[in-house]
Amino acid sequence: MSEIPSVDLNDFLTDDPVEKQAFVNAIGSSFEEIGFVALSGHFLEDELVDQLYEQIQSFFDLPLETKKSYEIEGLSGQRGYVSFGKESAKGRNVGDLKEFFHFGQYVEDDPIRAKEYPLNVLVKELPEFNAVGKEVYQKLELTAKFVLRALALYLKLEETYFDDFIHNGNSILRPIHYPPITEAPDDAVRAAAHCDINLITLLMGAHGRGLQVQNMQGDWIDAIAAPDQLMINVGDMLSRHTNNKLKSTIHRVVNPPQAEWGNSRYSVPFFMHPISEMSLNVLEQWIDADHPKGFEDITAGEFLEERLIELGLKKK
């Protein structure tokens, strides 16, 4: 596969069962073959997207001292600001060339879950940043719910199989700023080759070159979405749960040509996580003689803990 397939969520939301099944087949086979798909028909309005980019640029333009005041000790980077070069890909000791901010779940109907998650960090200098971030979070969470419903059908599960696991899930919205490159990086890239931790990732800002995906032949291909599309990929949690039927694909964000080093890049992934007690044990229907069980039993919370340590965001 040399390019990322495209699908339209409206085909799943239709009352036409033939169109709905065609969407299920298309997104399922794309995730089985390359683990990525470009999706239109999501719930983000153009005006909201424009507001978000305006606000995140305003945040990252704040003085470093101000931004660092929102880097809260003890949160393992799960809320608020994470400074430049602090995160590294699994197996690397060189930090990625990026800074970012985390919005987390807005729990409204579960006091036990509210105690489990840290509170969102509010930026007092930019009240609109907080409001727009929350609205985008909830629109992407809704989009992700319907994508997972389609995948549940593809996996021969009940359509709403994932619903209870993702309600009040530990999902993260991450506005990322890749600053201008001022000198030749020493083996550092904007985001080193990695797989995502979570169930699925919905990415805003994959409209220009930079994001690359490794296909099954080991070739790196550009993953470019249209301006009205989200790039969606499978994470390791969903790959484990399906015994690697749905592929969590290695991807990276490469440095631009030197002539473009002076430009910032912004992207906004939404990492869809389930509640911590969701079992990621391999689904029995995807184990057979040709596909033996490939992963040990684990919960989503245990798996996340392991990976945060590997990423350098949490200490043992």
Task: Give the confidence band of 179 by pLDDT, cuts at 50, 70, 90.
Answer: confident
Using alpha carbons, select from 227, 101, 119, 229 the residue that is nearest to residue 175: 101
Binned at pLDDT 50, 70 and 90, residue 165 comes out as very high
pLDDT digits (tens, 9 = 90+) for 210-241: 788 888 888 898 888 888 999 999 999 999 99
pLDDT at 92: 47
- Which uninterrupted H or E stretch holds 98? none
DSSP-based helix, strand, coil % in the chain, nearest 5? 30, 20, 50
CA 206 to chain centroid, in Å, comes to 12
pLDDT at residue 90 tops 60? no
Average pLDDT over residues 152-177: 96
Average pLDDT, the chain: 89
Q: How far apart are CA 126 and CA 280, in angstroms?
A: 38
Q: Among 21-25, 175-179, 281-285, which stretch is predicted with the lowest mean pLDDT?
A: 175-179
Instruction: Read off the pLDDT of residues 13-29 as tens digits, 9 standing for 90 and up.
Output: 999 999 999 999 999 99
How do 176-178 and 265-272 pair as beta strands?
antiparallel
Partner residues linked to 231 by β-bridges: 38, 203
Structure-token match 């409001």, residue found: 131
By percentage, how much of the chain surpasses pLDDT 90? 67
- The lowest-confidence range among 203-207, 210-214, 288-292 is 203-207
CATH number of 6-310: 2.60.120.330
What does the pLDDT read at residue 264?
82
Give the start-to-end residue ranges of the domains of the chain: 6-310
Residue type, 110: D
Q: How far is it, in rounded angstroms, from Cα 136 to Cα 53?
A: 11
pTM: 0.90
User: Which amino acid is present at 118?
Assistant: P
Q: How many angstroms separate the CA atoms of 117 and 98, rounded?
A: 25
Report whether 203 contacts 173 (CB < 8 A). Answer: no
Residue 103 is predicted with a pLDDT of: 97
Q: What is the mean pLDDT of residues 88-101?
A: 65
Per the structure block, which two tokens stand in for 105?
């779940």
| pLDDT(85) > 80 | no
In sequence order, the 6+-apart residues with CB closer than 8 A to the CB of 189 are 96, 97, 252, 253, 254, 255
Interatomic CA distance for residues 274 and 300, integer angstroms = 7
Q: Which of 308, 282, 277 is nearest to 296 (CA)?
A: 282
Mean pLDDT confidence for 47-69: 95
In this structure, the number of other CB atoms found within 10 A of the CB of residue 59 comes to: 21
Model confidence at 252, pLDDT cuts 50, 70, 90, reads: confident
